[in-house]
Amino acid sequence: MDWPRFGYSVALYALSPLIWQRVWREQVPTYQRWQRLGIEPSARSGQAYIWLHCASVGEVRAAQPLIKALLAHYPRHHLLLTTMTASGAQQVQVLTHLSSRLIHRFIPLDFPGSAKRFVRHWQPALAILFETELWPNLIACCHQHHLPVAVVNGRLSPRAFRRYLRIRPLMTNTLRRISWLAAKSQADAERFAALGMSANRTQVVGSLKFEISHNKGDGNDSKCLRRELGLETCKRPVWVAGSTREGEEAVLLAAHRKLACYHPEALLILAPRHPQRFDEVAKLCEKTQCTTARRSLQQPVTAQTQVYLADTLGELEQLYTVGDVAFVGGSLVPLGGHNVVEPASLGRFTLCGPSLENFEDVAKPLQAAGALESVADEQALVAALVAAFDDLDETARKGALGLQVVEQQRGALERTLAGLVQLLPAKAGQDPD
């Protein structure tokens, strides 16, 4: 009897009302909530599947190079991509043009019955979990069905490690069922090992976040957006605050008002991370008396517009390209930050707050090159923006250095694919339709 997992499952059932309350909000109209219980209304097709799970929008973005590579290396397989959040699901919808073999479902809640139904229905040839998605019942069910399970871009922040230490017996039993761990750093590998992951099934491959790629049409898209925002004819300093979280927008708007004392023509493009907060942030802009245009309403940007609220999904990359400076959210509040590689890979000088635990490994080389600067608070943010806009040539040079760092750090994708092929040969499976 797996007593740690039994106790975990009992706790899940006891907390199920709270869990359902949380996931009830994480819904997209075109998806049935039955997916949360591993229930599929239609019979499974005869295709072979690879299952890749990414928690939310940030992980889906970071996994895009891997998604493209899996579709290319396994042409005989369909790729089942699961997410936990609604924003993650909407991000996947942006990627459906990549292949008809890419399909999306919400991951089932980690109840024993839900896990069994999910695995029995899809029967994936390989399960791939991105970063820290360690679901004991799903992993145990894969193990029972003799399905190899890989954790790629594996990371454990110090905070997550301390949390998992409290349930170490459960995590040890779970990690014993992992076929291969592709850790993004030696520190992450050591934390996994301390929880019970075997060194023989662990490899440090580097961070997949450096493997970020951009569509060939990005240059034209950027020109169109600049023209749409009136930036082709009017040279005004622009900074883009992406993936912002609750508690950050008020600080960013206050900083922008102070920035106007030095650069009154400056424009802030504000892109909150979660769509359910778009209206809330719009009201905050109104409250702070910033002249605001909303992208979702196609409101025009004029010379008087101070803030452009990017209340849409799937456009952050394009938005970063029109700015002189990028600010990456989730970092002024203690959430561990978001992906600083994304704007750096576009050649943009990048700012962030002090909370960057989740991206410490990719942030260090960018900071060492001067392409990424951490600001402690509103005052420091204003000072950094003023300095950046006072010397745009120097700011562009720092952005170019960031792009160089990203290019130099590549290689994790190739090493990850090599490890996955050991679990599932690329020629295995059925021919696609």
- Could you tell me which residues come within 8 angstroms of residue 387 by beta carbon, excluding any fewer than 6 positions away? none
CA 368 to CA 409: how far, in whole Å? 13
Number of H helices, E strands in the chain: 18, 14
Catalytic position from the list 26, 59, 133, 249:
59
Residue type present at position 311: D
> Dihedral sign, CA of 219, 221, 222, 228?
positive
Per the DSSP assignment, residues forming a β-bridge with 373 are 351
The DSSP secondary-structure symbol of 301 reads P
CA 343 to CA 351: how far, in whole Å? 10
211 given a catalytic annotation = no
Query: Which ranges in 347-391 belong to alpha helices (H)?
Result: 360-369, 378-390
Do 351 and 265 contact (CB within 8 A), yes or no? Answer: no
Within 10 Å of residue 4's Cβ, how many Cβ atoms? 17
User: How far is CA 217 from each of CA 27, 187, 221, 318, 408, rounded to the nearest angstrom?
Assistant: 31, 37, 6, 10, 24
Annotated catalytic residues are 59
